[in-house]
């Protein structure tokens, strides 16, 4: 370990904890930040703190939000009879980017993965079931989990849970090839996948 | 740098970086190898399917010392039955964990490769995937040197007969009913006679017939309990993947 002043060492250690940042990049970022004017650095630090303090999970859809319910859940312009279930907030952003889908979302914050020891209880699945129990205006649940082993398993598991409740349950079409992340699908592919969804379960 | 061609089963796929994957590939000729795959998680990657966990594929790899990089791949079998049934997926995940713990190095172990192939088939399609995974795991432990003594009493050498027998996991053997036999084993339990026959089958059956048996519910319970204790005892690790099966029958949402 190089001989840095302790506060620089601490900054590097913290930066290196971020995903995709190794020791070298952490050093580069640390020295970049230290080279900036103080007000710039405070702006960054405050943005991080503010976001952390104000962002929480929407009590309806579990998406990240700074108002509760979130903007989408609160909007009367959205179709409240359709819920699109996705793995994470980035997927909501991907679907919103195509400006086609008008319904609501539910963010699971993960997928069932026996390989990683993630069971149905460790994702926001119970919240979805409670939501459907309370709100009988929902006609369709679109399962837009990733077309991966974990995403498929989660979709089928959910479909089997929802079927007896008489809710139309559909799966996005494999316009997106199996195995990929929804995040990397382009807008055209994603729109086609939504249009071509079929009933499953 | 050398280009090698191999068939292989993906036992583990770990996402790394933005869109890459590192896969643990079980091959017949090279054993278990770790292969890095650039951009594998991108929807348009040609490797998106072949590098998913549990896929069987044909792979072309660049080998550099002990590091492998994927050049091209073609899917042979995705074992999609596993995605359609969470119980089967849990069973396959458990067996993969055991396999990865046993196969630590890249020595070729063609016997284990074949066992994995048959096990995947059985876990995907057998009516009782949990029993299949336990049969597979016992056979796996037996093949790597943890075979229990099943033909005679460890205490007095008496050959196995139709009388009352007991077994001890820690002694790795069966014992006859003489009080002196197995006296020192603290984990002595009664051995149902059908259980002994089933263990014998699991040890000796050709792989093509390994999963070809049916059991009474009593013997099924015995085999599952025996297999679970046997695994924990020999690998000195608590395996928790199968615990998920207990949570898979959730309450009705309506
Ligand atoms: Zn919301
Ligand atoms: Zn004896």
CB < 8 Å & 24+ apart, contacts of B243-248: B244/A114, B244/A117, B244/A119, B244/B90, B245/B87, B245/B90, B245/B130, B247/A119, B247/A120, B247/A121, B248/A120, B248/A157, B248/B86, B248/B87, B248/B90
Domains of chain A, by residue range, sit at 6-54, 71-199
Distance of alpha carbon A89 from the chain centroid = 2
Distances, alpha carbon B234 to alpha carbons A167, B98, B109, B245, in Å: 48, 11, 20, 23
**Which CATH architecture group holds A71-199?**
3-Layer(aba) Sandwich (3.40)
Inter-chain contact B49–A177, Cβ cutoff 8 Å? yes
CA angle centred on A20, ends A18 and A22, rounded to 5°? 80
Distance B134 CA to ligand 2 centre (A): 28
For residue B52, count other CB atoms closer than 10 A to its CB: 28
Q: Which of A77-91, B152-166, B240-254 has the lowest mean pLDDT?
A: B240-254
A-B interface: how many C-beta pairs under 8 angstroms? Answer: 92
Helix count (H) and strand count (E) of chain A?
8, 7
The answer to whether the CB of B58 falls within 8 A of the CB of B76 is yes
Give the single-character DSSP code of B147. P
- The bridge status of strand B20-27 relative to strand B31-37 is antiparallel
Q: Which residues of B touch A20 (CB under 8 A)?
A: 17-18
Looking at residue B253, what is its pLDDT?
Answer: 42
Q: Which two tokens stand for residue A40?
A: 């710039």
The answer to whether the CB of B10 falls within 8 A of the CB of B79 is no
ipTM of the complex model: 0.80
Inter-chain contact A177–B89, Cβ cutoff 8 Å? no
Distance A75 CA to ligand 1 centre (A): 10
Looking at residue A180, what is its pLDDT?
Answer: 66
B65-104, pLDDT tens digit by residue?
A: 878 999 999 999 989 899 889 999 999 999 999 999 998 7
Q: For residue A56, what are the β-bridge partners?
A: A65
The answer to whether the CB of B180 falls within 8 A of the CB of B153 is no
Inter-chain contact A181–B41, Cβ cutoff 8 Å? yes
Inter-chain contact A184–B43, Cβ cutoff 8 Å? yes
Looking at residue A178, what is its pLDDT?
Answer: 61
In CATH, the number for domain B84-146+193-247 is 1.20.1440.120
**Does the domain made of A6-54 have the CATH classification 1.10.8.420?**
yes
**Does the domain made of B2-78 have the CATH classification 2.60.40.1180?**
no
């Amino acid at each position: 370990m190089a001989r840095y002043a302790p506060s620089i060492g601490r900054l590097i250690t913290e930066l290196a904890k971020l995903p995709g940042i190794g020791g070298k990049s952490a050093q580069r970022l640390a020295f970049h930040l230290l080279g900036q004017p103080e007000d710039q650095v405070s702006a960054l630090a405050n943005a991080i703190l503010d976001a952390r303090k104000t962002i929480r999970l929407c009590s309806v859809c579990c998406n990240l939000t700074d108002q509760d319910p979130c903007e989408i859940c609160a909007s009367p312009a959205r179709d409240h009879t359709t819920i699109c279930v996705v793995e994470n907030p980035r997927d909501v952003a991907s679907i919103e980017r195509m400006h086609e889908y008008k319904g609501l979302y539910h963010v699971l914050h993960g997928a069932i993965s026996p390989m990683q020891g993630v069971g149905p209880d460790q994702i926001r699945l119970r919240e979805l079931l409670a939501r459907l129990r309370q709100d009988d205006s929902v006609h369709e649940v679109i399962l837009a989990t990733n077309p991966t082993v974990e995403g498929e398993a989660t979709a089928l598991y959910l479909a089997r849970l929802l079927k007896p409740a008489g809710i139309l349950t559909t799966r996005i079409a494999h316009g997106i090839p199996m195995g990929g992340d929804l995040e990397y699908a382009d807008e055209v592919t994603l729109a086609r996948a939504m249009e071509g969804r079929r009933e499953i379960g | 740098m050398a280009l090698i061609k191999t068939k292989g089963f993906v036992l583990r796929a770990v996402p790394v970086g933005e869109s890459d994957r590192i896969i643990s590939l079980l091959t017949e000729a090279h054993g278990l190898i770790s292969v890095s795959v650039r951009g594998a998680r991108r929807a348009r990657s040609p490797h998106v399917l072949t590098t998913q966990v549990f896929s069987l594929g044909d792979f072309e790899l660049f080998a550099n010392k002990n590091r492998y990089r994927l050049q091209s791949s073609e899917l042979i079998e995705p074992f999609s039955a596993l995605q359609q049934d969470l119980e089967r997926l849990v069973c396959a995940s458990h067996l993969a964990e055991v396999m990865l713990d046993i196969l630590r190095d890249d020595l070729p172990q063609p016997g284990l490769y074949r066992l994995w192939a048959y096990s995947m088939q059985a876990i995907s399609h057998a009516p009782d995937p949990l029993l299949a995974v336990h049969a597979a795991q016992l056979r796996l432990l037996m093949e790597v040197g943890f075979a229990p003594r099943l033909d005679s009493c460890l205490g007095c050498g008496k050959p196995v007969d139709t009388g009352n027998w007991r077994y001890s996991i820690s002694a790795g053997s069966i014992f006859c009913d003489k009080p002196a036999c197995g006296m020192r084993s603290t984990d002595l339990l009664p051995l149902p006679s059908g259980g002994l026959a089933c263990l014998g089958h699991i040890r000796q059956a050709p792989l093509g017939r390994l999963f070809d048996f049916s059991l009474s519910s009593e013997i099924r319970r015995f085999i599952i309990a025996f297999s679970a204790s046997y695994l924990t005892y020999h690998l000195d690790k608590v395996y928790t993947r199968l615990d998920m099966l207990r949570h898979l029958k959730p309450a009705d949402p309506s």
